């Protein structure tokens, strides 16, 4: 179990394949081998910032979900945590230890991917046991009296020196001042680490294989929790997608990692199985109480599984919050639109404070007067008595049909009605002026396509966003306007 700390993490893809398992020395040699090194550096076209200034403290035992549309940088971030991608800038700590330069296998992290990657010729038991069989466990070295042996870690020092050499070289030929600054900071933190390891003897380890009985015990323990005890002798081809993903989870579990990283593990399953596996994974987390970090593009998975969710867009964190806070208090229009089905309705409006009301003027020229005491607190600069253009957001379930004779309502026309049984979704358009549909989630009713429908909003659930920046202009508390 472990807490994680991500400080100003950046990932810049610079056209060089950072995943190549070439030794850093070979890389330096290759670059230095050129008669004129600078052009080689400039060849790094397609430089791309995939993750920008990611900051987060993750408590031990949390279930964190990274969510966002394709390409937002969620997989890159989880891969940096796993050690499968180099961190271009910033610092990553696991349990307070800086791990930027710690090899993946030494981070004590298990990763489960979308593709189960099981060995087809092995049984479930063999698949789960495989990593344990190969694994040599570090056993702290002790002297004859049983006291821990401390020594200077020469391997670690060698690795750090290699890294320093590469970073120093990159800094020298950085393409911009910002890059140079980032690389110099990185060099400083590497130097600090090198100083520490050069001067400080650390616990020495020897490595031993796990006994067979201990491996079997672990496999049976995982199989029991995952409900696949009956399948231990089966081969992957004889199992369903859900069962195979359970085996993949089992393989991660037996390693007893400090952190579980799950990258879209349910994407290959059909909708029904995904829903049940979602619950299985939440149960597994409750049982193991280990830190889980889960990547998905599916906001329903994020909402139902995460204790906290990180919403990302184009490499930038948009909001980190609990599922209900994200739903109720989105920090910006992107988060508001991304979380929730059907999507929040957005309307371009102008607002103007008039006594204790907020006059909201819509595209069809109609004005709705909202009670300022019922709305969430609005940034004072929008309440100066002048007109301001903003985006109004309201979720379908916070729209009501106006009572007959209520003049303070919005005139719309019903386009399409979908009766879902438990709710009815009505797609209405502003009469005389509205292009976009407003989706209302209502009870059953007798309206038909083409009918006029007057609607009002539940005021405390109305959202307002600045038109340019798209940032919310509201606080979390209601009233005080």
Q: DSSP 3-state assignment of 302?
A: helix
Backbone angles phi, psi at 215, to 5 degrees: -65, -45
Query: Interface mask (CB under 6 A) for ligand ATP, residues 405-444, using x and -?
Result: ----------------------------------------
Structure tokens at 35: 């008669």
Sign of CA dihedral 441, 442, 446, 447: negative
112 touches ligand ATP by CB under 6 A:
no
Enumerate long-range contacts of 323-332, CB under 8 Å, 24 or more apart.
Answer: 327/303, 328/461, 328/476, 329/472, 329/476, 330/393, 330/463, 330/472, 331/471, 331/472, 332/465, 332/469, 332/470, 332/471, 332/472
Closer by beta carbon to ligand ATP, 74 or else 398: 74
Residue 109 CA to residue 94 CA, distance in Å, equals 10
Query: Interface mask (CB under 6 A) for ligand ATP, residues 57-96, using x and -?
Result: -----------x-xxxxxxx--------------------
Q: Which of residues 213-242 bind ligand ATP (CB under 6 A)?
A: none
Computed on alpha carbons and rounded to an integer, the radius of gyration of the chain in Å comes to 28
Q: Residue 361: is it exposed, middle or buried by C-beta count within 10 angstroms (0-12/13-18/19+)?
A: middle
Closer by beta carbon to ligand ATP, 267 or else 350: 267
**Smallest distance from ligand ATP to CB 47, Å:** 9
- Tell me the residue nearest to ligand ATP as measured from the CB: 75
47 touches ligand ATP by CB under 6 A:
no
Q: Which of residues 249-268 bind ligand ATP (CB under 6 A)?
A: none
Query: Interface mask (CB under 6 A) for ligand ATP, residues 284-323, using x and -?
Result: -------------x--------------------------
The site for ligand ATP, by CB under 6 A, has a size of 12
Closer by beta carbon to ligand ATP, 51 or else 442: 51
**Smallest distance from ligand ATP to CB 240, Å:** 24
Residue 153 CA to residue 187 CA, distance in Å, equals 20
What's the number of CA atoms in the CB half-sphere (13 Å) around residue 183?
Answer: 19
**Smallest distance from ligand ATP to CB 297, Å:** 5
**Smallest distance from ligand ATP to CB 473, Å:** 28
Task: Name the β-bridge partners of 358.
Answer: 353, 370
Residue 392 CA to residue 378 CA, distance in Å, equals 12
22 touches ligand ATP by CB under 6 A:
no
Positions in the binding site for ligand ATP (CB under 6 A): 13, 48, 50, 68, 70-76, 297
């Amino acid at each position: 179990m472990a807490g994680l700390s991500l400080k100003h993490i950046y990932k810049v893809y610079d056209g060089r394949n950072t995943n190549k398992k070439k030794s850093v020395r070979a890389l330096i040699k290759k670059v230095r081998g050129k008669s004129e090194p600078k052009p080689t550096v400039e060849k790094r076209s397609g430089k791309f910032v995939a993750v920008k200034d990611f900051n987060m403290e993750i408590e031990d035992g949390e279930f964190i979900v990274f969510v966002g549309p394709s390409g937002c940088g969620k997989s890159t971030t989880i891969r940096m945590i796993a050690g499968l991608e180099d961190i271009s800038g910033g610092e990553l700590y696991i349990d307070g230890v800086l791990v930027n330069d710690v090899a993946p296998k030494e981070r004590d992290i298990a990763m489960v991917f979308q593709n189960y990657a099981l060995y087809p010729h092995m049984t479930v038991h063999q698949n789960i046991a495989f990593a344990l069989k190969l694994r040599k466990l570090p056993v702290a070295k002790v002297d004859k009296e049983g006291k821990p042996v401390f020594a200077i870690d020469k391997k670690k020092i060698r690795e750090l020196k290699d890294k320093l050499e590469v970073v120093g070289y990159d800094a020298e030929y950085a393409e911009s001042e910002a890059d140079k600054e980032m690389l110099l900071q990185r060099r400083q933190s590497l130097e600090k680490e090198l100083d520490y390891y050069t001067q400080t003897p650390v616990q020495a380890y020897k490595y031993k294989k796990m006994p067979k009985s201990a491996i079997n015990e672990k496999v049976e323990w995982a199989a029991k929790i995952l409900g696949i005890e009956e399948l231990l002798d089966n081969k992957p081809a004889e199992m369903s997608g859900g069962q195979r993903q359970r085996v993949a989870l089992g393989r991660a579990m037996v390693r007893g990692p400090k952190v579980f990283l799950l990258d879209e593990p349910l994407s290959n399953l059909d909708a029904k199985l995904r829903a049940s596996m979602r619950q299985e994974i939440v149960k597994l987390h409750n049982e193991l109480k280990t830190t889980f970090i889960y990547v998905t593009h599916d906001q329903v998975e994020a909402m139902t599984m995460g204790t906290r969710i990180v919403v990302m867009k184009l490499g930038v964190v948009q909001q980190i919050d609990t599922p209900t806070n994200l739903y109720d208090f989105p920090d910006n229009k992107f988060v508001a639109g991304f979380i929730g089905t059907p999507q929040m309705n957005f309307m371009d409006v102008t607002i103007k404070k008039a006594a204790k009301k907020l006059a909201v003027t819509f595209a069809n020229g109609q004005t709705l007067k909202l009670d300022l005491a019922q709305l969430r607190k609005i940034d004072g600069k929008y309440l100066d008595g002048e007109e301001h253009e903003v985006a109004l957001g309201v979720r379908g379930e916070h729209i009501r049909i106006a009572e007959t004779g209520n003049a303070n309502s919005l005139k719309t026309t019903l386009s399409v009605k979908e009766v879902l049984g438990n709710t009815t979704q009505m797609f209405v358009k502003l009469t005389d002026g509205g292009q976009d549909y407003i989706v209302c989630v209502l009870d059953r009713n007798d309206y038909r396509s083409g009918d006029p429908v007057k609607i009002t909003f539940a005021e405390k659930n109305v959202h307002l966003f600045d038109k340019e920046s798209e940032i919310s202009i509201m606080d979390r508390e209601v009233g005080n306007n």
